[in-house]
A and B are shown apart, each in its own frame.
Chain A
């Protein structure tokens, strides 16, 4: 069981807006640790999508955005496209676990 909780699956139609939640606790997200998001397309390595809660690396479309509040974070994708079908993971750190890296269980996004 992952320390960060994500919905196992989500689906949306092309052009829609979806959000993926990442729920933590007072020892990780709520303690102020940054949240990062990754996209893993089928058969490929994970790719950094968002870092430091809200920042997009160069090359990531502005259709991807993220936010953090309290003990949770969320990733939003607007104008959903077929190539967005992938697994999405949130990542942070946990102060009760020697500041070890923690991941959400991942959300499989299906574009209908």
Chain B
């Protein structure tokens, strides 16, 4: 069955950096677009980044563009998110998700990893 498992969250100081990974299994990873989304405390879901099947196409939400970088390693079935210049507004649970074919929905989600930005 499809599984997405994030790792790499934790506590980081303002201005700091963090790198997540998301291990995918149960499907042909290179056949799917992948995404990162987050939910901040007391707020709703927010899409932050997409990456195409080969990794050459990337898009970002305005809130993270220039600070976050999405990447993938299809040989290892891994999705990454490099986050720099973190601020308190980046405190959230971060999810990786698979984009289903055809309709653009997020059909499978990881369990989420918490990032807390605090001094």
Task: State the A residues within 8 Å of B (CB).
Answer: 2, 34, 36, 38, 40, 44-48, 51-52, 55, 57, 87, 89, 91, 93, 98, 100-106
Contact = CB atoms under 8 A, between A and B. Distances in A.
The listed residue with most B CB atoms (<10 A of its CB), out of A45, A55, A102, is A45
Given A36-B103, A106-B45, A101 B112 contact: no
Nearest to B95: A45
Given A98-B59, A100-B61, A101-B50, A46 B45 contact: yes
B106 A100 contact: no
A38 to B, nearest CB: 7
Nearest to A106: B44
A104 B111 CA distance: 21
A103 B44 contact: yes
Contacts of B45: 38, 40, 46, 89, 91, 103, 106
B104 interface: yes
Interface of B: 35, 39, 44-47, 50, 59, 61, 95, 100, 102-112
B42 to A, nearest CB: 11
Given A103-B45, A103-B47, A34 B109 contact: no
Given A48-B105, A51-B107, A52-B102, A101 B47 contact: yes
B20 to A, nearest CB: 15
B106 A52 contact: no
B110 A45 contact: yes
Contacts of B35: 101
A87 B59 CA distance: 27
Nearest to A55: B103
Contacts of A40: 39, 45
B59 A104 contact: no
A89 B44 contact: yes
Contact of B59 (A44, A51, A100): A100
A40 B93 CA distance: 13
A105 to B, nearest CB: 5
Nearest to A103: B45
Contacts of A47: 109
